[in-house]
Structure 1
Amino acid sequence: MIENKTSPWIFWIGFCLLLIPGLVHAYLLMPFPGSQDLNAITVSYYLEKIITPLRIAGAIMVLFYIVKYFTANTLKNKVIKVAALVFYLGTFYVSDVLYKAETMFEEPKTVSFANAVHNHVPESLVILGVVNNGVAKAYPLVYLGYHHKVQDNVGGEPVLVTYCTMCRTGRVFSPVVNGKRQDFRLVGARHYNAVIEDAATKSWWYQATGIAAAGPLKGSHLKELYYEQSTLGAWLAKYPGSLILQPDSHYLTDYNDLKNYDRIQAIDKDSTIKNKDTLVRKSWIVGVIVDKQAKAYNWRNLVKKRLLNDKLANTPLMVSLEKDSLTYHVWNRMVNGKELHFNLDPAGLLTDQETVSTWNWDGLCTAGVNKGAQLGKIQAYQEYLHSWRHFHPGTSFQ
């Protein structure tokens, strides 16, 4: 009877408004079991917009209850309600502080670059390389993998260099939206891919596609900028004057957690899988899109063969891997209106079968009939199989 006279429903409704929206939101935007398989990005988007008002309403109800009714509670009911509020504060710390994407993966506090002479990054590390207006910059994956994004300038143009470790893929975009450069924040993840938000419109963008999935600009595309993924050594061989992103001393422990991330597949560490050539969710592939047609190449097969002549959307392709087994390229095999077929000679040099011309690893013919010709570069992405398949459901495989 005493409990009924204290109108406990006021407290418990307020408590639910404080607790439940935040927990649901955190569940949907973090890789908890089952959460990433739900088609819930729109729910997540609008839920984030109303969490604060719901919490304010809940706090008002709880505060009203405490002022008006709390003293009339029995000792048992007082303890229960205090314990509930302590529980809420704990969940709030976990969902909004400890495991909030922006907190877990902070942006660099200091973004510094060095040339090859003053560089402290091992040349064996894999990087994303960007060239613009004669300026080359390299961004090591072990740093990008923690930060998820670096907002920078290359050759006087703004760039948004991104990397998602859950789907193992990088993208480089122009951060210009509706004519204005935007700052982006990391929101969380959906379908195991990082979601970022622009400051002006608050739209949510998938990192793997650059498509706005929710918000005022839903359906829009960020402009994608060409990049290459290679070892730093291979990159410097082509661009010796490149600047290299240096490690931020504030995050050395976080970087160390990604040690060997750029060279060892998850399948290599799984003792339950005997045939390591088996394609599983986290198998590496090289993905290519030509005229809206997508194709994925098995990384392990590429490591063995190192060079594949193929066609996609009637475009002749060469998919190749350098001797380091980490630096990959995709080029258009059409030169001066003729389709060329390539192979590696006994010395490991690229040659075409039609003219026996020699080509370097920048797609430039250095000797032979075609000397001076340049193969057209085609953007390609290293990615987990499950991610590529999700964002490109009609993809073909090789």
Structure 2
Amino acid sequence: MKKLFYAGIIGLILFELANVYFIMPMPGSQEMNSIHFAYFLYSWRWIFRVVFALFIIVGFINAFKSSRILTVLFLLVVAGITYAANFEMAADSMFLTPGTVKMRNADENKVDLDRLVLGVALNGEAKAYPIQYLGYHHQVIDTIAKKPIMVTYCTVCRTGRVFEPQVNGKPETFRLVGMDHFNAMFEDKTTKSWWRQVTGEAIAGKLTGQSLPEVKSSQMALSQWLELNPNSFIMQPDHDFTAEYDSLSNYETGQRKSKLTRRDTLSWQDKSWVVGVVLGRESKAYDWNTLLKERIIYDELNGQPIALVIGSDNKSFAALQRTDKNQNFVFQNNRLQSPLNTYNLLGSAINPLVPDLVKLDASQEYWHSWRTFHPGTKKY
């Protein structure tokens, strides 16, 4: 009977490790298409635990009689691994959400103006969320123009997205549960489905295939955001997380040494920066180094003429749909000047009588992230 004890011990250890391995950035785990197996383990976790616990209980007496020290040692080991896997290594224990979101206007703001932010503007209201803070929290729940929003960021993919935290028209609560293909995943409280951060799509569970409503956002330097939105509010640091924020102080400039969050300054490497643009059913990636060199890239996507432009700060960028393929710009004083009209960086016409340019979905990401989640993408 003591064999049941050891079978239970080994089984429980392997299960707890596997339950973490497939949804955390461990060697080889994120290259596999293992999300459905990982969700199966997670969904049936208490069944596995009860079965292995029964094995341990049934075989305990015989194992204890055979070797008291070894039996106690194994129990301590399995207890330690179980605790670490479910508390120390749990994503929502490692990366906490802020208790309250402190917002200040430009006059009271304490955030460095050179910092990158994810900006949201809606119905005359604007808010900016520093990536240094989002990178740690992964999600920040807030409201804008009385609409609840879920501001998310994944440092391993370098992806910022904003969603409405609602499912089937009802408010929903999410927690960080892990990652798949190096992208953060959230779990909704109601159905326990798993949602991908980069797309807002449920990839495992009852709601697989559904998507969260996305809210348009822009990544740029805070100084540029305030130039475009002078009445914007800015998220301020939560002093309970000072050490965590400090650890990401050099993330946005690409100076981190971590294998997961570093920057490869060469082009088209896994950790190279690209700007991915989507128009209709087509997507294309533009090398960040090329954008810095050319400043304005003229191209066509999905049969439409577009322009990808970077600001004078070498941080802020936008992808815009041109009125026609002959429309070219001169970029001066953070404005796009064409022979007939002048626009700001986001394509808004300075002359209110002139139509704005259409701002396209564009994001700065690691190349490995963009090609993974846009498998049909083209390269400029």
**Alignment of 1:234 onto 2:224:** yes
Matched with 1:261 is: 251
Partner of 2:65: 72
Cα distance in 1 between the residues matched to 2:28 and 2:215: 33
Does the 8 Å contact 1:212/1:221 carry over to 2?
Answer: yes
Structure 2 counterparts to residues 1-398 of structure 1, below 5 A = 7-66=1-60, 68-73=61-66, 77-264=67-254, 276-334=265-323, 338-344=324-330, 349-352=335-338, 355-366=339-350, 372-398=354-380
1:186-238 CA-partner distances (Å, limit 9, x unpaired) = 11011000011111121111111111111111111111110011111111111
Higher-Rg structure is 1
Following superposition, the deviation at residue 371 of structure 1 comes to 6.1
Give the AA of the match of 1:224: E
Are the aligned partners of 1:291 and 1:313 in contact in 2 as well (CA < 8 Å)? yes
The runs of 5 or more residues in structure 1 that have no matched partner are 1-6
Q: 2:267·2:287 contact (CA, 8 Å) conserved in 1?
A: no
Q: 1:53: how far off?
A: 2.3
Instruction: Provide the rounded CA distance (Å) in 2 between the counterparts of 1:315 and 1:291.
Output: 10
- Whether contact under 8 Å (1:263, 1:326) holds in the other structure is no
Offset at residue 32 of structure 1 (A): 0.7
Residue in 2 that maps onto 1:4: none
Q: Distance in 2 between matches of 1:386 and 1:181?
A: 33
* Counterpart residue identity of residue 337, structure 2: T
Give the SS at the match of 1:342. Answer: coil
Task: Kindly indicate whether the alpha-carbon contact (under 8 Å) linking 1:17 and 1:57 is maintained by their aligned counterparts in 2.
Answer: no
Q: 8 Å contact 2:163–2:213 — kept in the other structure?
A: yes
Q: Which ranges in structure 2 are unaligned for 5 or more consecutive residues?
A: none
Secondary structure of 2:214's aligned partner: coil
- Stretch of structure 1 that moved more, 80-89 or 278-287: 80-89
Q: What is the aligned-residue identity percentage? A: 38
- Runs of 4 or more off by more than 4 Å in structure 1? 265-269, 345-349
Question: Could you tell which deviates more after superposition, 57-66 or 382-391?
Answer: 57-66
Query: How far, CA to CA, are the matches of 2:70 and 2:102 in structure 1?
Result: 52
Structure 1 residue 278, shift from structure 2 partner: 3.0
Deviations 1:333-388 (A, max 9, x none): 02xxx444223257674222xx3533222323336xx9633111112111110011
Shift, 1:92, TM fit: 1.9
Tell me the amino acid that sits aligned with residue 56 of structure 1. Answer: V
Equivalenced residue count is 377
Q: Give the alignment's Cα RMSD to 1 decimal.
A: 2.1
CA contact (8 A) 2:154 2:160 kept: yes
Contact preservation (8 Å) 1:203, 1:215 = yes
Distance 2:223 2:331 in 1: 22
- The letter for the 1-side match of 2:377 is T
